[in-house]
Structure 1
Amino acid sequence: MKRLGLLRHAKSEEDRPTGHDFDRGLSPKGRRAAETMGRYIGKKIDAFDKILASPAVRVQETLNIALDAMGRAAPVDRTETRSLYLATHDSIEDVLEKMGGDADSILLVAHNPGLEDFVLDHVPNDGSCALRDIVATKYPTGAFALLELDIDNWADVSDAKAKLITLTRPRDLDPTLGPEMAN
């Protein structure tokens, strides 16, 4: 059994002076959401063995703020990979297969729609998971999902079935942080 945390970057700036999407940082609301989610993850979720993240500015800011708020040492094994920038769920699977190694648990921080599609592809659509229905409606900025995958090796992730253990949105913890916007 493997454990996978999926954290979507928090709300970003609308525009960046460079005009490049990759360079957009977090909005003030996004910074508050990243801190809120970090505190939640730090209190409620066991530490992860490895972190895999998109190198986009908004993802790195989300991750750094969340890690600070967790109040515990981050895993030494932290990898930024361009393959996670705006990744599809297939690209996410490829990254996990190639970079998962022997980690039992991974925190993956990236973008939508790849994160949402990953959850929808791996959690059975049999009506038994109300949280899956929420993901199908919207996986907002700053949202965190925790999945248990029925695999022993990350190389098998593409065929894995998952159990969605939790789905937490910033607005679930602080109503002033919702409703979330699309970016």
Structure 2
Amino acid sequence: MKRIYLLRHAKSSWDDVALDDFQRPLNARGRKAAKRMARHFTEHSIRPNMVLCSAALRTRSTYELLEPVLQGVPVSFEDGIYEASRSDLLHRLQRLDGHLNSVLLIGHNPGLEKLALALCGGHGDHAGLERLEAKYPTGALTILDSSVPHWPELDANKCTLVDFIRPKDLDPTDDDD
């Protein structure tokens, strides 16, 4: 069994119009959302075998706020995840090392949303599917399980949606910035 976590970067800032899209930082709301998600990772013992993260600043910053709960998990920052299509992201997952059973992919829309919808193909948690189909907001996490034994076999409709968690679904207790 393989478990896939797909995390869209937290909310970014558009304040500095001179910044290239790749260099946009998180805004205050995004930092709070990423911290909430880090608490969720801790509370639910989410610990993937590897992290694949877009090299864009907002995804790296999202990862950095999760990193304290992921200490020791190998991470790969990859330019190719930025602006990746659904098929690009799928091919990246299909190339994972065989010894890995779980992965956290931190990326961007629209590729991440399209990948999540394609992988689960409408199978799994009904309420989560409704939320996912309605909108994949910044900071949201998709959890998918697949019975494929090897990553190269991963494809559309080969996963079940376990959960779809948005930052607004999480307890804001102890939000600080």
Question: TM-score, normalising length from structure 2?
Answer: 0.89
Report the equivalent of 2:71: 73
Letter of the structure 2 residue corresponding to residue 73 of structure 1: Q
The Cα of 1:128 is off from its aligned counterpart by 6.6
Instruction: Look up the match of 2:122.
Output: 125
Query: Structure 1 residue 14: deviation in Å?
Result: 1.0
In the aligned structure 2, how far is the partner of 1:148 from the partner of 1:154? 12
**Is contact 1:119-1:132 (8 Å) kept?**
no
Deviation at 1:18, TM superposition (A): 3.9
**What residue in structure 1 maps to residue 34 of structure 2?**
34
Structure 1: how far apart are the matches of 2:172 and 2:41?
17
Contact 1:3 1:105 in 2 (8 A): yes
In structure 2, distance between residues paired with 1:80 and 1:107? 12
Matched-pair identity in %: 34
Q: Which runs of 5+ in 2 are unaligned?
A: none
1:157 aligns with 2:154: yes
Residue correspondence of structure 1 range 71-150 to structure 2 within 5 A: 73-75=71-73, 77-125=74-122, 129-150=126-147
Measured against aligned partners, the alpha-carbon deviations of 1:93-151 in whole angstroms (never above 9, x if no partner) come to 11112234421000110011111111111113369723112111101000011110121
Task: Find the aligned partners of 1:134 and 1:148 in 2 and give their Cα distance.
Answer: 18
Cα separation, 1, equivalents of 2:125 and 2:46:
25
Structure 2 residue identity aligned to 1:131: G
- Off by >4 Å, runs of 4+ in structure 1: none
Q: Secondary structure at the match of 1:99?
A: coil
Two-structure CA RMSD over aligned residues (Å): 2.0
Alpha-carbon separation, structure 2, partners of 1:48 and 1:73: 11
Cα deviation for residue 30 of structure 1 reads: 0.5
Q: How far, CA to CA, are the matches of 1:120 and 1:96 in structure 2?
A: 15
TM-score by length of 1: 0.86
Q: 1:165 to 1:127 in 2, by over 3 A?
A: closer
Q: Deviations over 1:33-82 (max 9, x none)?
A: 101101101221331111101000000000110222x3x5241x211111
1:102–1:153 Cα contact (<8 Å) kept: no
Q: How many residues align?
A: 173
Is the CA contact 1:83–1:95 (under 8 Å) kept in the aligned structure 2? no
**Structure 2 counterpart SS, 1:40:** helix
